[in-house]
C-alpha cells in the first residue's frame, strides 16, 4: 500500500492537468544515487507496462514496476512547498536510513 497526502495528490493532479500528452498514470521508480544510495523518481507515463503494478490512491493512478514495489511498499508521499524546499518527500518505513530531504534512502 502506498499513501499520498492531500498536498501530494493535489500537486500530481495539477501536473497531470498541465501535461501536453495523455497520462496513463504516475510512475514511481527507484534508481541508484542520492546521498543515501537509492533515490526515488517520479514521472508521468503515457502507457502502462505489461508487468506494472497499478494502484489508485485518492484518484491518482500509480504505476510501479515489480522490482521497485517491494522497496516502496507502505511509503507515504508528501508534497512540501516552503521557502527552503519545494517538492515531493517520501517517508519509507522500509528504509534503514534516509536523507533529511526525503528523496533518497538505504535499505
Asked whether the beta carbons of 26 and 61 are under 8 A apart, the reply is yes
Positions of the chain with pLDDT lower than 70, given as ranges? 34-36, 97-107
Residue-level pLDDT at 32? 82
pTM: 0.85
Answer whether 9's CB lies under 8 Å from 2's CB: no
pLDDT score for 36: 67
Return the pLDDT at 106: 61
Which pLDDT belongs to residue 101?
56
User: Distance (Å, rounded) from C-alpha 95 to C-alpha 75?
Assistant: 10
Q: Could you tell me which of 92, 53, 100, 98 has the C-alpha nearest to residue 75?
A: 92
- Residue linked to cell 496513463: 24
Amino acid at each position: 500500500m502506498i499513501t499520498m497526502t492531500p498536498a501530494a495528490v493535489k500537486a500530481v493532479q495539477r501536473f497531470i492537468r498541465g501535461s501536453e500528452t495523455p497520462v496513463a498514470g504516475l510512475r514511481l521508480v527507484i534508481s541508484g544515487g542520492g546521498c543515501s544510495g537509492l533515490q526515488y523518481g517520479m514521472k508521468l507515463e503515457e502507457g502502462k507496462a505489461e508487468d506494472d503494478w497499478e494502484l489508485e490512491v485518492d484518484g491518482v493512478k500509480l504505476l510501479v514496476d515489480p522490482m521497485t514495489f517491494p522497496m516502496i511498499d507502505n511509503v507515504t508521499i508528501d508534497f512540501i512547498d516552503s521557502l527552503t524546499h519545494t517538492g515531493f518527500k517520501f517517508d519509507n518505513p522500509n528504509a534503514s536510513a534516509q536523507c533529511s530531504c526525503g528523496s533518497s534512502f538505504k535499505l
